[in-house]
C-alpha cells in the first residue's frame, strides 16, 4: 500500500533522486569513528544540528502557552511548567538544549580549527560558521529574558550594558534591542520575543542551508 502511494508520487514528482543523493553519499574513512575512534570529533557538527532541531520543535510547543507580555509572561511559564501535561519536559528540553547547543557549536568550532578545515577552499564556510555562532548566542541571550523573572531581568541588564559599551554605536544598539535606553519593560520583552522566534530563526535557516550546501559542494576536508 505505502509502496504504491510512494510510486504514485514518484511518477509525478521524481523524488527518488533527491533522497538517493543524500542516502548514497559516502562518508570518508577518516571521519568514521568505526575506523578511527578519535574521528568522533566529526560528530559535533551533526550533533549541533540535532539539538537545533530539538530547540525548534520544543520552542514551537512552548509558544502554544507562552504569552509575550509583561503581565502574563511569568505566569504563563509557571502554568506551563506546573499544570500542563508534559510541559515540564518540553520546557526542560528547551532550557537545557539552549546551553547544550552552545557547548556543541563550540566543540564543532574547535574541531574545525584544530583539523585546519577552515583553510582554502573552506574560508567562506568558516565565515558562515562564525555568523551561525553569533545567531546561536543571540538566541540564547534573547530567550533568557522571556520567563520574565528576576534572573532574566538582571542578566539582560548586564547584556544590554555590555551592548551599550560598544564604542560610538553602543547606545544605538541598546535602544534597537531594548526599545528604551533606561528600563527593561514592555517594549523590551516584545522585541526580544520577536527577535527570538522570528528574526534569528529566519537567519539561522538561511545560514544553515548555505553551510550545508557548501559542505556538499566542497566535500569534507581531508585527514591531517
Ligand atoms: C548551527 C550551527 C552549525 C551547524 C548545525 C553546523 C554543522 C556542520 C556539519 C554537520 C558539518 C559537517 C562536518 C562535521 O560535522 O564536523 C560542518 C562542517 C563545517 N563547519 Fe559547521 N556547523 C555549525 C556552525 C559552525 C561554526 C560556528 C563554524 C566555525 C566558526 C563552522 C565551520 C565549519 C566548517 C569550516 C566546516 C567544513 C569542515 C570540513 O570540511 O572538514 N560551523 N558543520
Mean pLDDT of 17-44: 94
pLDDT digits (tens, 9 = 90+) for 181-197: 678 999 999 999 999 99
Give the number of the atom of ligand 1 that is nearest the alpha carbon of residue 41: 16
Closest residue (by CA) to atom 27 of ligand 1? 129
Q: Residue 75's pLDDT is what?
A: 98
Give the number of the atom of ligand 1 that is nearest the alpha carbon of residue 108: 16
Per residue, the 3-state secondary structure of the chain, as one string, reads CHHHHHHHHHHHHCCHHHHHHHHCCCCCHHHCCCCCHHHHHHHHHHHHHHHHHHHHHHHHHHCCCCCCCCCCHHHHHHHHHHCCCCHHHHHHHHHHHHHHHHHHHHHHHHHHHHCCCCCCCCHHHHHHHHHHHHHHHHHHHHHHHCCCCHHHHHHHHHHHHHHHCCCCCHHHHHHHHHCCCCCCCHHHHHHHHHHHHHHHHHHHHHHHHHHHHHHHHHCCCCCC
- Residue 27's pLDDT band, with cuts at 50, 70 and 90, is confident
- Residue 224's pLDDT band, with cuts at 50, 70 and 90, is confident
Mean pLDDT of 73-85: 98
- Residue 85's pLDDT band, with cuts at 50, 70 and 90, is very high
Residue 7: count of CB within 10 angstroms of its CB: 11
Give the number of the atom of ligand 1 that is nearest the alpha carbon of residue 48: 5
Q: Which three cell numbers stand for residue 214?
A: 557548501
Q: Residue 182's pLDDT is what?
A: 75
Residue 119, pLDDT > 80, answer yes
pTM of the model: 0.94
As for ligand 1, residues whose beta carbon falls within 6 Å of it are 42, 44-46, 48-49, 52, 105, 108-109, 111-112, 117-118, 122, 125-126, 129-130, 132-133, 136, 208, 211, 215, 220-221
Which superfamily, per CATH, for 35-218? Cytochrome Bc1 Complex; Chain C (1.20.810.10)
Domain extents for the chain? 35-218
CA distance 175 to 181: 5
- Residue 83's pLDDT band, with cuts at 50, 70 and 90, is very high
Q: Which residue among 22, 53, 108, 220 is best mutated to probe the pocket of ligand 1, counting the most ligand atoms within 8 A of its Cβ?
A: 108
- Residue 206's pLDDT band, with cuts at 50, 70 and 90, is very high
Mean pLDDT of 27-51: 95
Amino acid at each position: 500500500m505505502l509502496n504504491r502511494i510512494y510510486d504514485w508520487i514518484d511518477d509525478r514528482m521524481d523524488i527518488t533522486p533527491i533522497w538517493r543523493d543524500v542516502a548514497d553519499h559516502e562518508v570518508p574513512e577518516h571521519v568514521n569513528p568505526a575506523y578511527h575512534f578519535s574521528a568522533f570529533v566529526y560528530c559535533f557538527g551533526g550533533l549541533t544540528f540535532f539539538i537545533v532541531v530539538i530547540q525548534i520543535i520544543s520552542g514551537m510547543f512552548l509558544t502554544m502557552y507562552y504569552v509575550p507580555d509583561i503581565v502574563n509572561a511569568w505566569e504563563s511559564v509557571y502554568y506551563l511548567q506546573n499544570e500542563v501535561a508534559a510541559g515540564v519536559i518540553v520546557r526542560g528540553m528547551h532550557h537545557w538544549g539552549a546551553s547544550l547547543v552552545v557547548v556543541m557549536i563550540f566543540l564543532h568550532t574547535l574541531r574545525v580549527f584544530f583539523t585546519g578545515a577552515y583553510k582554502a577552499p573552506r574560508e567562506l564556510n568558516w565565515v558562515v560558521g562564525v555568523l551561525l555562532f553569533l545567531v546561536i548566542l543571540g538566541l540564547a541571550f534573547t530567550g533568557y529574558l522571556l520567563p520574565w523573572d528576576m534572573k532574566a531581568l538582571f542578566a539582560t541588564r548586564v547584556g544590554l550594558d555590555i551592548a551599550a559599551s560598544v564604542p560610538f554605536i553602543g547606545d544605538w544598539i541598546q535602544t534597537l534591542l531594548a526599545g528604551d535606553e533606561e528600563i527593561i519593560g514592555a517594549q523590551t520583552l516584545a522585541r526580544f520575543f520577536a527577535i527570538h522566534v522570528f528574526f534569528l530563526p529566519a537567519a539561522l535557516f538561511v545560514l544553515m542551508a548555505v553551510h550545508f550546501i557548501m559542505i556538499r559542494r566542497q566535500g569534507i576536508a581531508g585527514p591531517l
